[in-house]
Amino acid sequence: MTRSARRSFLQRGLGWVALGARAPRRLWAAGGLAFDPAQHLIPAPADPADWPSFRQRLQEWRRTARQQLEYDDALYRRPDFGWVPRTFACHFVMLNDERFYEWRRGRSTVQSYLDLAQREFGGCDALVLWQAYPRIGLDDRNQFDFYRDQPGGLPGLRTVAAQCHHRGVKVFVAYNPWDTGTRREPVADLEALAELVRALDADGIFLDTLDRGATEFRARLDAVRPGVALEGEIALPLDRVWDHHLSWAQWFSDSQAPGILRNKWFERRHMLHQIQRWNADHTAELHTAWMNGTGMLVWENVFGSWVGWCERDKTLLRIMLPIQRRFADWFSGEHWTPLVPTLHPDVYASLWEQGDARLWTLVNRSRQTVAGPLLALPSSPSSPPGERFDLVRGRPLTRPRTRALDDGPAAALAGSIPPRGLGCFLEASPARLGADFDEFLDRQRAIARQANHQTSPVHLTTQPLLGPPSPRVTAAPSGMVAIPAATVVLKTVFRIRECGFYESSPPNPVIWQRLHRRHEIERTVRLGPFALDRTPVTNEQFAAFLAATAYRPPQPENFLKHWAQGAPPPGQMDHPVVYVDLADARAYARWAGKRLPADEEWQFAAQGTDGRLYPWGNEPPDERCNTGATGTTTSVTAFPSGQSPFGCYDLCGNVWEWTESERRDGATRFCLLRGGSFYRARGSDWYMDGGPQPCVFAAKFLRHWPGLDRCATLGFRCAVDLA
């Protein structure tokens, strides 16, 4: 911008302040779009000359919309929902996240997780405890079972909620309405949800894939306990703001001049959480939240894929949250003026007022530091100015200079805002500041000193977690088949799901456009000679292991759940053993002088050298494997025509099989499963794949703890190295 153009911009900005209500009323257009309150984020006009008209249109629309909807704010006036407007930072936490559950010690680590959230992000006001997807569908357990089978069951989760409440953090449980193909509850979903809320003492329900809950939700939840709020994932319709106190602002696109969150403008106490979960850059979301007085959803472990925040975005949130929490009543009050004039073309501001006190939130849209006069303030002898502060830097402002213009004198607040950063000014009398205001400024100064403006996202490295090796033998032991050494090109297929593939990083955007479809990964692998069990380990074989070793897992939940009084089910001695986790399988293999097969070994043993689709060839599954007709497992030798080229049984259908492919990244552990099973959950693309699977197919199974990892459809077979 030239010097003369900048001078003109500054003069116009100061002039608009003086004009106030005398600003001209005229229609505006931003990029050819007229004022559109049908959008969930109403775009703002680019030209500052149109802002007064834009604000007036907003006021008129709000008044008219409330009249037409006969809006009743009774639920927002209830004291039990007073916590909602202060819930600025919501964290989405996977219950299997290593930072939330210490799997080696078998205990939840709520306090350390909340401490980490405080250090990294400035704390959290609410947690969404996510339980099922992308694991659900491997067996018939439903979304409520995934809460019941957490460490310690529902009482254990209630303890987790109590620890959160002790730190002032609200707890949300998740509802998955698409879960209709697993085990059905004896009561309706709403009743099961209400009982879950009661059991955990939860504060809210996150409505996955929904824009709203059924109208019956409110009355049923009120009967359980007061103050249970609803928050949908999809943008909330305006006519349900009255009974949904919160909503996600997911994938909202903002205009260059920050737009207005429609539902927030309509009901100032409504809380929205900005979220674009696959983005590495969250600055745009932070700007929208800052200018609208709303919150953020922090989500780095996205269903097992790591999408870490960069240090700059963490810094911005750490700066924002203390201000938002301290002035929460201002941000949820009626005196909000968006897009007040500024003195720089790349800086935008909102004004929040309480009586004679004023607070401005500012954003710098440019990629350069902006410094100097930023805001113009009209002089008013009848209302002497109070103390002025830069709340981002935590320091008082020097008395601003007065500029004489044709429209009257005005003062300019000066400061500096880093590239794409935030600013905040406060003007208030000492009586409004509070007794601890100096301590608040000290804390803000400390945050400013620790600011880190690095924009590279934080990556995690996936590391293998291997079980013990097996001794090398000269020939395949009894019950095993020899597999020769080979260097092969393996084509492995995954379902494109949000947990990703071999690594922690999510798939690239091009692949995401094919969500739920299958994706092929080609690798060249070198395999040494090995032997593989001809069949999966059976109930009879596992019973012999128990008799010889008296093995008992340290966490016995769901261990051999299908057995009765320590014995396999009648008639199923030669069925594959299930309800064993990876540690149980490794323990058996160690006792037998074996190990589990690597993922690559399993695939090569199943398809041989010709790359066939199924162990028996390229014909689809029928009488050659367990397709689920009986609704349970079958004998491991029931389908001799389904053997692989090397002579292995049951490599397709019957049960999924553990492989020695466990990996972790510090947030997520996972293991690759092979083979498919007799069970198939139908009705939703969000379920794990069920039924018999081709030799090339691998399922990424997120590990948690034995009580959940032991499944009715998951067994194993063993391998051994050959000399």
Of 494 and 383, the one with more pLDDT: 494
Q: How far apart are CA 693 and CA 57, in angstroms?
A: 58
Backbone dihedral angles phi then psi of residue 311, each to the nearest 5 degrees: -65, -35
In a domain, 426, yes or no: no
Q: Is the pLDDT of residue 31 over 50?
A: no
pLDDT of amino acid 8: 37
Answer with the one of 331, 346, 365 that is the final residue of a domain: 331
Residue with tokens 């001078």: 7
In a domain, 568, yes or no: yes
Answer with the one of 302, 331, 360 that is the final residue of a domain: 331
Q: Is the pLDDT of residue 493 over 70?
A: yes
CB atoms within 10 A of CB 413: 22
Backbone dihedral angles phi then psi of residue 509, each to the nearest 5 degrees: -60, -30
pLDDT of amino acid 96: 97
Residues 550-578, mean pLDDT to the nearest whole number: 97
Question: Which tokens sit at 494?
Answer: 């995954």
Number of separate helices (H) and strands (E) present in the chain = 19, 34
Q: Is the pLDDT of residue 400 over 90?
A: no
In a domain, 265, yes or no: no
In a domain, 507, yes or no: yes
pLDDT of amino acid 274: 98
36 contacts 53 by C-beta, under 8 angstroms: no
Q: Strand 101-102 relative to strand 229-232: parallel, antiparallel, unpaired?
A: unpaired
In a domain, 47, yes or no: no
Q: Is the pLDDT of residue 481 over 60?
A: yes
pLDDT of amino acid 722: 97
Question: Which tokens sit at 207?
Answer: 């409505």
Residues 327 and 476 placed together within one structural domain of the fold: no
Band of residue 412 on the pLDDT scale cut at 50, 70, 90: confident
SS3 state of residue 226: coil
Q: Is the pLDDT of residue 410 over 90?
A: no
- The residues that bridge with 295 in the sheet, in sequence order, are 273
Q: Strand 295-298 relative to strand 89-94: parallel, antiparallel, unpaired?
A: parallel
Enumerate residues 6+ apart whose C-beta is below 8 A from 156: 108, 150
Residue 512 structural domain: 472-721
Closest CA to 680 of 653, 700, 703, 699: 653
| Residues across the chain | 723
Backbone dihedral angles phi then psi of residue 422, each to the nearest 5 degrees: -125, 155
Answer with the one of 331, 353, 377 that is the final residue of a domain: 331
pLDDT of amino acid 35: 87
Alpha helix stretches (DSSP H) within 474-578: 509-512, 539-549
Residues 172-182, mean pLDDT to the nearest whole number: 98
First vs last C-alpha separation in the chain = 75
In a domain, 42, yes or no: no
User: Which CA distances in Å does 696 have to 98, 603, 641, 652?
Assistant: 29, 6, 19, 11
In a 13 Å sphere around the CA of 562, the CA atoms on its Cβ side amount to 22
Residues 258-275, mean pLDDT to the nearest whole number: 98
Residues 215-233, mean pLDDT to the nearest whole number: 96
Residue-wise pLDDT for 294-332, tens only, equals 999 999 999 999 999 999 999 999 999 999 999 999 999
Residues 664-682, mean pLDDT to the nearest whole number: 97
Residues 498-521, mean pLDDT to the nearest whole number: 89
Residue-wise pLDDT for 65-121, tens only, equals 999 999 999 999 999 999 999 999 999 999 999 999 999 999 999 999 999 999 999
Q: Mean pLDDT of all residues in the chain?
A: 92
Indicate the pTM of the whole model.
Answer: 0.93
Residues 464-478, mean pLDDT to the nearest whole number: 93
409 contacts 369 by C-beta, under 8 angstroms: no
In a domain, 437, yes or no: no
Closest CA to 106 of 521, 412, 520, 554: 554
SS3 content of the chain, % helix, strand, coil (to 5): 30, 25, 50
Of 405 and 220, the one with more pLDDT: 220
The tally of domains found in the chain comes to: 2
Residues 625-641, mean pLDDT to the nearest whole number: 97
pLDDT of amino acid 25: 33
Q: How far apart are CA 723 and CA 720, in angstroms?
A: 10
Q: Is the pLDDT of residue 213 over 70?
A: yes
Task: Indicate which CATH number applies to the domain containing 308.
Answer: 3.20.20.80
Band of residue 511 on the pLDDT scale cut at 50, 70, 90: confident
Q: Is the pLDDT of residue 5 over 90?
A: no
Q: Is the pLDDT of residue 21 over 60?
A: no
40 contacts 261 by C-beta, under 8 angstroms: yes
pLDDT of amino acid 235: 97
pLDDT of amino acid 16: 28
Residues 543-552, mean pLDDT to the nearest whole number: 98
Question: Which tokens sit at 417?
Answer: 């805002």
CB atoms within 10 A of CB 277: 18
Q: Is the pLDDT of residue 406 over 50?
A: no
Residue-wise pLDDT for 326-372, tens only, equals 999 999 999 999 999 999 999 999 999 999 999 999 999 999 999 99
Cα 220 to the chain's mean position, in Å? Answer: 27
Q: How far apart are CA 521 and CA 603, in angstroms?
A: 13
Band of residue 266 on the pLDDT scale cut at 50, 70, 90: very high
Q: How far apart are CA 599 and CA 602, in angstroms?
A: 5
Band of residue 505 on the pLDDT scale cut at 50, 70, 90: confident
Residue-wise pLDDT for 439-463, tens only, equals 999 999 999 999 999 999 888 999 9
Residues 127-146, mean pLDDT to the nearest whole number: 98
Task: Indicate which CATH number applies to the domain containing 487.
Answer: 3.90.1580.10
- Ranges 510-519, 620-629, 669-678: which has the least confidence: 510-519
In a domain, 573, yes or no: yes
